[in-house]
Amino acid sequence: MHTSSLVQQLKPSATIAAAAKARELRSRGIDVLEFTLGEPDFITPAHIRDAARQAMDAGHTHYTPATGLPELKQAVCDAFERDYGICWTPSQVAVSNGAKHAIHNVLSAVCDPGDEVIIPTPYWVSYSALVELVGAVPVLVETTEESGFCMTADQLRSAITDRTRLLMLNSPCNPTGAVYPVDTLESLARTAVDADIIVLSDEIYDKLIYDGHTFRTFASFGEDVKERTIIVNGVSKSWAMTGWRIGWTLAPENVTAAITRLQSQQTSNPCSISQHAAIAALNGPQDAIESMRQEFQKRREYVVRRLKAMPGVSFAEPGGAFYVFFRVSSHFGRELPGGSVVTSSTEFCTALLEQAHVALVTGDAFGAPGYVRLSFATSLDIIEAGLDALEAFLTAS
């Protein structure tokens, strides 16, 4: 049976593929130390789980408006004003089935076939695929380890053409953990205004910021910036709710109206129970976020210290999220354990998994050959064992 060319061109998610390969080894009785998936290893806080049970018991198990309950939209607005001092209205909020769905909604709502979308690399694996899925063209702008993996305003200006529709920005960034400095963000904002382009600001890791770094929402640089900005966020990372599948956009009303029309045809609504849980997350106590952030910071400090001592490894220290993105290309071409000689990040990850039973994600998938991504969203015991195995793999002769 025929399948569309657009779907045929889609590549499977590299993070999910890496996790699947690790599961395959486990099914054969091999103990795998896994650092592939980008989700907190904590359970969703108790008051949020309680709210879901109460919602079910109260009979909130039916359809809701296509882009979310009014109470949830208001909670999103209240939380944004509480946290960042910026006012949005419920008519500017569209709740979706997770942030990935929200990004696809945005691209479908604002891009026409042939439009160009600027994406700084390294970038989250789904960005370019979602751009291509709507018939738009990803324009990849390479950033460097030396710049902290942050795109400059000059780079943005150089990438803009008369077909540019959108800039996709992610700070803190998956896969690098980069947190854009405030002055760099402001320069990008002014450039976007001057060029009259839209900015999709993916801020899903906004609460996971480490000492010495500052998060600034892109919409905060003036009303002229805000009216060109679409914020993507959700409950997955900050409240350990990846499986609940609740994300949202904050956007100008005409964009939100377009997303509402689209989502009303795509899916009747996000899960009603998850929406009530998300209301509890946004309106309830926020101390669990800080507890998780502090634990992530301890893990980050340990991973950074260990990686700095390993031969042939370099990286820009992450300022947020829960990833370290490090260069391993100095090990290409030499014989590694098991007799393997690798020439790419993908081959490196395969050899590391098969020989040392450590699962990382190749930088090839993130538009950054020569690098690999390690997620430290797992226990310190597993991190210690995994880094011990990685170090042994790198130092074996």
Q: Please indicate, yes or no, if residue 218 is contained in any of the structural domains.
A: yes
- From 261, 283, 305, the end of a domain falls on 283
Q: Please indicate, yes or no, if residue 56 is contained in any of the structural domains.
A: no
Are residues 215 and 74 part of one domain? yes
pLDDT at 12 over 90: no
Cβ count near 24 (within 10 Å)? 12
pTM value > 0.75: yes
Rounded Cα distance, 21 and 396, in Å: 24
Model pLDDT, residue 152: 98
Model pLDDT, residue 221: 98
Are residues 184 and 259 part of one domain? yes
Are residues 68 and 152 part of one domain? yes
Q: Please indicate, yes or no, if residue 23 is contained in any of the structural domains.
A: yes
Mean pLDDT of the region 242-263? 98
Q: Please indicate, yes or no, if residue 32 is contained in any of the structural domains.
A: yes
Q: Please indicate, yes or no, if residue 15 is contained in any of the structural domains.
A: yes
CA dihedral 199, 202, 208, 213 (to 10 degrees): -20
Alpha-helical regions (H) of 309-375: 345-356
What pLDDT digit, counting tens, does each position of 80-129 carry?
999 999 999 999 999 999 999 999 999 999 999 999 999 999 999 899 99
pLDDT at 388 over 80: yes
Cβ neighbours for 79, distance < 8 A, ≥ 6 positions apart: 282, 283
DSSP states of 206-222 as a string? TT-B-TT-----GGGS-
HSE-up (13 A, CA, CB side) for residue 100: 16
- Give the tokens for residue 234: 């959700």
Are residues 77 and 183 part of one domain? yes
Rounded Cα distance, 11 and 22, in Å: 19
Are residues 323 and 180 part of one domain? no
**What's the domain range around 176?**
62-283
- From 232, 248, 283, the end of a domain falls on 283
| 8 A C-beta contact, residue 169 and residue 202 | yes
Q: What is the count of structural domains for the chain?
A: 2
One-letter amino acid of 328: V
What pLDDT digit, counting tens, does each position of 77-89 carry?
999 999 999 999 9
State the chain's mean pLDDT as an integer.
Answer: 95
| Closest CA relative to residue 52, chosen from 286, 283, 276 | 276
Are residues 300 and 222 part of one domain? no
Are residues 143 and 85 part of one domain? yes
Mean pLDDT of the region 356-380? 96
Specify the 3-state DSSP secondary structure of 251. Answer: coil
pLDDT at 15 over 80: no
Are residues 266 and 139 part of one domain? yes
Cβ neighbours for 235, distance < 8 A, ≥ 6 positions apart: 241, 244, 246, 247, 277, 278, 281, 282
Q: Please indicate, yes or no, if residue 49 is contained in any of the structural domains.
A: no
Are residues 25 and 115 part of one domain? no
pLDDT at 149 over 70: yes
Model pLDDT, residue 5: 81
- Give the Å distances, CA to CA, from 371 to 122, 259, 332, 353: 10, 36, 11, 15
Rounded Cα distance, 180 and 237, in Å: 19
Are residues 234 and 102 part of one domain? yes
What pLDDT digit, counting tens, does each position of 330-361 carry?
999 998 888 889 999 999 999 999 899 999 99
Q: Please indicate, yes or no, if residue 13 is contained in any of the structural domains.
A: yes
- From 238, 262, 283, the end of a domain falls on 283
Q: Which residues pair with 164 in a beta bridge?
A: 116
Model pLDDT, residue 21: 78
What pLDDT digit, counting tens, does each position of 158-179 carry?
999 999 999 999 999 999 999 9
CATH of the domain at 372: 3.90.1150.10
CATH of the domain at 221: 3.40.640.10
Model pLDDT, residue 323: 98
Question: Which phi and psi (to 5°) does residue 376 adopt?
Answer: -100, 30
Model pLDDT, residue 397: 58
Are residues 199 and 76 part of one domain? yes
| Closest CA relative to residue 170, chosen from 118, 210, 225, 105 | 118
Q: Please indicate, yes or no, if residue 185 is contained in any of the structural domains.
A: yes
Mean pLDDT of the region 213-219? 97
Are residues 298 and 224 part of one domain? no
Dmax (CA) of the chain: 64
* Among 187-191, 284-288, 339-343, the least confident range: 339-343
SS3 percent helix, strand, coil of the chain, rounded to 5, is 50, 15, 35
Mean pLDDT of the region 239-263? 98
Rounded Cα distance, 348 and 362, in Å: 8
Question: Which phi and psi (to 5°) does residue 388 adopt?
Answer: -60, -45
- Give the tokens for residue 318: 């992450």
pLDDT at 132 over 80: yes
One-letter amino acid of 50: D
SS3 readout for 119-183: EEECCCCHHHHHHHHCCCEEEEEECCHHHCCCCCHHHHHHHCCCCEEEEEEECCCCCCCCCCCHH
